[in-house]
């Protein structure tokens, strides 16, 4: 079997490669159309990657004989209900529309088992690490297949389980955003972990695949389809897992009491804002810290440029749309706020950011279909804005740490595609109830400056609240 090596000479030995799908005969051949929520992600060349670390102080042999069979069996049973993940994204030539196709007995999910002698405890400790340190544990998506008529068959997901003898193991999932957003993905993880843990799923509702639930009053589907047909096919054929080698990733925890102080301070300064969400104040804080920490790198003295923050809102929580929380697929709209650099780094930067963010969230919630009209242009905007854009990935509401396969909560869970200064990941906290884990990736000098600025701001707001 082949080995995988990163730039730090971390070696991962591939033990097994196989295909896992629903039990034979359990799912009929099924085609699902892509909605206007799904189509924009066909033009996004970057895949999504989430890794979970679990403690398991036993040998690789013990793992292969006891845990692995249950992991694979429960995954197969889970894919019976989450079959789009073991399907193909089918992209035929115009005028046929792209869709998701499950072919009974023919489409499966690529599953890899590997072993690594890397120090497990070093990987889960809360210190800055090279972003490439996790790369050997990330599965590559199988190659897109091009048929003679030009139709593309795109596998949407791959899973790699890596064993660290006598220490633990990881489950890393690399997937295309075309088939699932964050909420739907984590419902899959929770279903799989529940089934693996208890041999039956008692916690997670079955997913809903009925695409007729998604209404299109503004006629976005044909407009988006035209854009997809006109997009460069190399992006669609070759999704990218980009791993820069000059940055470090670090996560830190905002405690619940720190978030509550921020919310009180914002509400006190702007009394019209009676309710400010945890999401809003967290994003405002991190955005300001990032901008301040990058001042020297950008050398923007005298350049008062507009800076942008991008985030996603889940439309399942909007009552007027009547989309069930169990809907499986994409159901998010994007919001972008822009603020002058001078305001963000000024005395009231966090307050300015919080007000702008809260206003944009309200706008998205009150007019989701209007907000969806910009989805097709989002990724080209990201490319043109460069260092001026910061994107938020994940949410504490997704409960990433509530994924117990039978060996307790994950020791660590991270969003690996956030691997540059352009991204920030948010998650629930493993050990502190109500806390938020924040993940960022910078050069080492900027990371040190970011941490210093964050500590100073948190100390300052605690002093003002006392």
Structure tokens at 269: 């300064």
| CB 354 within 8 Å of CB 344 | no
DSSP class of residue 65 equals I
Cis ω for the linkage preceding 95 (within 30 of 0) = yes
Q: Which two tokens stand for residue 394?
A: 């994940």
By annotation, the residues acting in catalysis are 177, 404
Q: Residue 4, Cα to own-chain centre: how many angstroms? A: 24
Query: Rounded to 10 degrees, what is the CA torsion of 280, 281, 283, 284?
Result: 110
Distance CA 438, CA 309 (A): 15
Q: How many CB atoms lie within 10 A of CB 86?
A: 25
Q: Is 338 left (phi over 0), alpha (psi -120 to 50) or beta?
A: beta
What's the CA gap between 55 and 406, in Å, rounded? 11
DSSP readout, 88-146?
EEEEPSTTSPPEEEE-TTT--EEEEEEEE-S-HHHHHSSS-EEGGGGGGGSPPPPPPEE
| Residue 44 neighbours by CB distance under 10 Å | 18
């Amino acid at each position: 079997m082949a080995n995988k090596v990163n730039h730090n000479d971390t070696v991962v030995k591939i033990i097994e490669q196989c295909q896992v799908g629903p039990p034979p005969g359990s799912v009929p051949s099924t085609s699902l159309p892509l909605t206007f929520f799904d189509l924009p992600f066909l033009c996004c060349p970057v895949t999504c990657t989430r890794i979970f670390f679990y403690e398991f102080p036993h040998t690789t042999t013990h793992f292969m004989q006891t845990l692995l069979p249950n992991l694979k069996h429960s995954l197969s049973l889970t894919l019976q209900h989450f079959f789009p993940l073991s399907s193909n994204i089918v992209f035929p030539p115009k005028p046929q529309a792209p869709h998701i196709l499950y072919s009974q007995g023919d489409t499966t999910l690529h599953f890899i088992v590997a072993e690594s002698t890397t120090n497990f405890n070093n990987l889960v400790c809360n210190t800055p690490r090279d972003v490439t340190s996790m790369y050997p544990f990330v599965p590559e998506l199988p190659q897109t297949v091009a048929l003679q008529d030009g139709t593309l068959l795109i596998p949407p997901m791959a899973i790699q389980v890596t064993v660290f003898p006598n220490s633990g193991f990881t489950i890393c999932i690399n997937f295309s955003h075309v088939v699932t957003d964050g909420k739907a993905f984590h419902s899959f993880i929770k279903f799989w972990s529940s089934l693996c843990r208890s041999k039956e799923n008692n916690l997670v509702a079955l997913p809903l695949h009925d695409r007729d639930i998604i209404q299109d009053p503004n006629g976005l589907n044909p407009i988006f389809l035209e854009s997809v047909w006109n997009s460069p096919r190399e992006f669609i054929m070759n999704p990218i897992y980009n791993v820069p080698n000059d940055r470090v990733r670090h996560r830190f925890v905002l405690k619940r009491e720190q978030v509550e102080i921020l919310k009180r301070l914002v509400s006190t300064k702007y009394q019209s804002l009676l309710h400010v969400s945890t999401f809003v104040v967290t994003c405002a804080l991190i955005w300001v810290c990032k901008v301040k920490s990058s001042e020297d790198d950008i050398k923007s003295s005298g350049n008062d440029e507009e800076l942008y923050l991008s985030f996603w809102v889940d439309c399942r929580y909007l009552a007027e749309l009547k989309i069930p929380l169990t809907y499986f697929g994409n159901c998010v709209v994007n919001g972008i706020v822009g603020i002058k650099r001078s305001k963000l780094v000024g005395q009231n930067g966090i307050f300015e950011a919080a007000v702008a963010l809260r206003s944009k969230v309200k706008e998205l919630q009150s007019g989701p279909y209007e907000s969806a009209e910009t989805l097709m242009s989002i990724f080209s905007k990201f490319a043109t804005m460069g260092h001026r854009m910061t994107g938020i990935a994940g949410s504490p509401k997704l409960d990433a740490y509530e994924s117990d396969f039978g060996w307790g909560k994950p020791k660590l869970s991270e969003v690996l595609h956030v691997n540059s200064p352009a991204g920030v990941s948010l998650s629930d906290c493993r050990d502190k109830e109500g806390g938020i884990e924040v993940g960022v990736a910078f050069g080492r000098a900027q990371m040190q400056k970011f941490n210093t600025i964050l500590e100073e701001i948190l100390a300052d707001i605690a002093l003002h609240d006392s």
